[in-house]
Amino acid sequence: GIDPGQRTGLSVFYYEKEIEGSFYFSVEELVFHIIQILGGLRAKRKIVKIGNGNMVIAKQIVTMLNLKFCSSFELEFVDERKTSLKIKNFNQRGKRDMLSAKYISQRDGYRHSILPLSMTG
């Protein structure tokens, strides 16, 4: 799950367990890290869920992933409303962004497959 913004939160689940929570100020660093994670997981289906609160940054993330990740993955844009209501006063070192990303990872959105540009041209 990704909560895009000035501080972009990331929450990674594998077999229904959170294996990582982190945040990034740079889209490039975030995408590089996501590529490392996706490349290292042996899952048949890889689903990236991105909150729809900042679509400019969300689209940057998707574009960079598509350009740099050489395998297919599934993408969902998720309604991120009410993901940070419970944690308004809780943003020491990006914890709110990481928690929002965690909530985003648990929600369903419209899913579509992304094929890498190396396959589609």
Q: Which domains does the chain have, with CATH numbers?
A: 2-116 (3.30.420)
74-119 pLDDT tens trace: 899 998 876 665 555 555 667 878 888 898 888 887 777 776 665 5
Residues 6+ apart with CB under 8 A from 49: 1, 2, 75, 76, 77, 78, 104, 105, 107, 109
The pTM score is: 0.83
Per the model's pLDDT, the better-predicted residue between 43 and 91 turns out to be 43
